[in-house]
Amino acid sequence: MKKRNIAIIAHVDHGKTTLVDEILKTSGMFRENEDVSQVSMDSNALEKERGITILAKTTALDYNGYRINILDTPGHADFGGEVERIMNMVDGVLLVVDAYEGTMPQTRFVLKKALAAGVKPIVVINKIDKPSARCKQVVDEVLDLFIELGADDSQLDFPVVYASAINGTCSLSDDLGSQTKGFKELLDLIISEIPAPSGEVDKPLQFQPALLDYNEFVGRIGIGRVQNGTIKVGEMVNCIRLDGTEKSFRIQKLFGYYGYSRVEVESAEAGDIVAIAGLPDISVGETICEQGMHLPLPVLHIDEPTLQMTFGANTSPFVGKDGKIVTARKIEERLYRETQKDVSLRVEPYTNESFTVSGRGELHLSILIENMRREGFELEVSKPHVIIKEVDGIKMEPWEDLQIEVPEDAMGTVIEQLGLRGAVMENMTNIEGQVRLNYVIPSRGLIGFTTDFMTMTKGYGIINHTFKEYRPYEKVEIGERKLGVLVSMENGSATAYSIGNLEDRGIMFIEPGTEVYEGMIVGECNRDNDLAVNVVKGKNLTNVRASGSDHTVVLKRPRPITLEYALDYINSDELVEVTPNFIRLRKQILNTEDRKKMDAKKNKAVA
């Protein structure tokens, strides 16, 4: 069967996964009466909840005598390394662009990777059913981006398809009335425009994993394209390691892809995208060859981590009350298991009870934490901080491209805040009352910014950022929270009476009845210093009734604390306690007197 290998790339939320889902549903692979309303490429519970793709997915469909392999890629910058490696497996890309938003930071990032790999692009203008769609301007923006990124003549001559993935329609015209059900036009373009996979069946075997999966029964599974030759189950092969050494092993299992399923196959040949099992520690970029052959492929680049934080066993007084897994040894096992399938993650021991975990960004690490808490773990994590690296004796820190859209009335506050965080404005445009601002900013300037940004824009702002480069480190204090916190000085159950009396001191994070302990953060102070408070004190009861004293206390609603908010919010002397059902903020030093002594020492040192 003839083959075509393509990847779908786009900015976050421009409709990649929905498009793949709809292509599969309209390709004839399901029965007419089959319920396909719940099936989706985003199979992970977190992916469905958040509406984002976290892990790259492989699928395939048959159309007009062709096997079309499709790779659905993540759109978030934190998972950009997967996009880069996937370009090694495909010969073309579908660049999906929102018909209103146009080109965004991740559009630039993923397109740059695709053009550098020399693959053939097809542009899909999605969501053209939106009343605010501006198809012609967006196509012009895409062309400008191609030119800016140095596309060659063949890449500049890209075909354009206009689609509404949510409705399952597309056409070759930007006229909404010309949309037809199904994706025949798009599939026909893939067959006519995307070249067949290079590689020859008669040559010696070459296979290179670009992605990893993990299975407790067979260990690591390497996913990649057979570049040359054929590969069979039970065959003895050679693995050329990244350090040049070789190791022989037997192919235990071979998996192909069709629809939403991974299916076992007996053999695969040049151009096929498959997953192999048999070498428990197979790694991205290694080359699998026939025995006796030494034909290494160029090593694939893996993005270095830019952010790290400390994961440790829970040390709060509430340890073990909620989660089943609380020991440092179990946390260590789980973290190292994650590194088996996530090549961008690094884990190193920090103390006997904690570990330094390095990743590609806050989202990357928060998804790991969220998965662990759902599995029954209790842990405490520190404030994320950027990784400073040394190049030729000079300290270097990561910088990012930042693009935000804000309503005009919030623009001044946002610009002021970004200036305080070391950001440099590069461009400002106005699109129908929304101001689009382009900045470059130190990565540490973005830590904790999202929370402030959403408050400043009343939730109407859009923020996107992607790693740009390393620049010399400037020793300026960026990213610490300016306001202090309200810290419990007692253990017990919070009372409405205490909370009511404290409301003029700041914003509360808890409600009456919440169990608290000494050192737990219960609210935000409206001043820049921390305040030790008693939230468990009850009202003194007397036998005297004064008029008006029995009126009901009406409390303000507490501020909700999510995992991302907590990681953004804390300062370097604070921790987030994570259990299956609770997210708590706490001080590293729980004892009030000990903490006061430590603060006094710090202030003395600063003075």
Q: Give Cα separations from 127 to 41, 131, 174, 532, 567 (angstroms).
A: 19, 9, 11, 52, 33
pLDDT digits (tens, 9 = 90+) for 432-482: 778 888 899 988 888 878 777 877 888 788 887 777 888 998 877 776 778
Q: Mean pLDDT: which of 49-58, 112-121, 210-219 is highest? A: 112-121
Q: How many CA atoms lie within 13 A of 339 on its CB side?
A: 15
**pLDDT of 189:** 92
**pLDDT of 124:** 93
**pLDDT of 166:** 87
- The answer as to whether 302 is a domain residue is no
- The answer as to whether 477 is a domain residue is no
Question: At residue 121, what is the residue type?
Answer: P
Indicate whether 236 and 377 sit together in one domain.
no
- Domain containing 167 — which CATH number? 3.40.50.300
Answer whether residue 39 shows pLDDT above 60.
no
Indicate whether 380 and 394 sit together in one domain.
no
Indicate whether 314 and 439 sit together in one domain.
no
- The answer as to whether 478 is a domain residue is no
Answer whether residue 33 shows pLDDT above 50.
no
Residue of 3, 57, 76, 465 marked catalytic: 76
Indicate whether 96 and 170 sit together in one domain.
yes
Q: How many CA atoms lie within 13 A of 546 on its CB side?
A: 4
Residue predicted with more confidence, 1 or 137: 137
Residue with tokens 């097809």: 122
**Catalytic-residue membership of 385:** no
**Catalytic-residue membership of 76:** yes
pLDDT digits (tens, 9 = 90+) for 147-202: 988 888 888 889 999 998 888 888 898 888 888 888 888 999 999 999 998 888 99
Indicate whether 414 and 500 sit together in one domain.
no
- Domain containing 314 — which CATH number? 3.30.70.870
- The answer as to whether 332 is a domain residue is yes
- The answer as to whether 107 is a domain residue is yes
> Do 586 and 513 meet the contact criterion of CB atoms below 8 Å apart?
no
pLDDT-derived band at 37, boundaries 50, 70, 90: very low
Name which of 341-350, 411-420, 446-455, 514-523 the model is least confident about.
446-455
pLDDT digits (tens, 9 = 90+) for 339-357: 887 888 899 998 888 999 9
Average pLDDT in the 207-234 region?
86
Distance CA 176, CA 163 (A): 9
> Do 296 and 240 meet the contact criterion of CB atoms below 8 Å apart?
yes
Task: Pick the last residue of a domain from 258, 290, 322.
Answer: 290
Find the domain containing 461 and state its range.
389-472
Q: How many CA atoms lie within 13 A of 90 on its CB side?
A: 32
Indicate whether 398 and 509 sit together in one domain.
no
Indicate whether 135 and 256 sit together in one domain.
no
Distance CA 464, CA 41 (A): 23
Query: Sign of the C-alpha dihedral, residues 25, 17, 462, 364?
Result: positive
pTM for the whole thing? 0.78
- 3-state class (DSSP) for residue 304: coil
Residue of 14, 17, 272, 465 marked catalytic: 17
Average pLDDT in the 391-403 region?
88
**Catalytic-residue membership of 429:** no
Answer whether residue 263 shows pLDDT above 80.
yes
Indicate whether 24 and 162 sit together in one domain.
yes
Indicate whether 228 and 347 sit together in one domain.
no
CA 560 distance to own-chain centroid: 22
Question: At residue 554, what is the residue type?
Answer: V
Tally the residues of the chain.
607
Phi, psi angle pair for 40, to nearest 5°: -160, 150
Residue of 14, 16, 113, 364 marked catalytic: 16
Indicate whether 405 and 381 sit together in one domain.
no
Domain tally, the chain: 5
pLDDT digits (tens, 9 = 90+) for 306-343: 889 999 999 999 999 998 999 999 999 999 888 887 88
- The answer as to whether 516 is a domain residue is yes
Indicate whether 184 and 281 sit together in one domain.
no
Residue predicted with more confidence, 92 or 18: 92
Task: Pick the last residue of a domain from 432, 451, 472.
Answer: 472
Answer whether residue 122 shows pLDDT above 90.
yes
- The answer as to whether 200 is a domain residue is no
CB burial class (10 A; 0-12, 13-18, 19+) of residue 36?
middle
Answer whether residue 534 shows pLDDT above 90.
yes
**pLDDT of 586:** 95
Task: Pick the last residue of a domain from 472, 499, 534.
Answer: 472
Residue of 13, 42, 98, 568 marked catalytic: 13
**Bridge partners, 399 (sequence order):** 442, 469
Query: Sign of the C-alpha dihedral, residues 73, 76, 80, 82?
Result: negative
Indicate whether 253 and 129 sit together in one domain.
no
Residues contacting 247, CB < 8 A, separation 6+: 238, 239, 241, 279
Query: Max alpha carbon distance in the chain (Å)?
Result: 98
pLDDT-derived band at 545, boundaries 50, 70, 90: low
Distance CA 127, CA 114 (A): 23
Residues contacting 125, CB < 8 A, separation 6+: 97, 99, 135, 138, 139, 160, 161, 162, 163, 174
Distance CA 274, CA 284 (A): 14
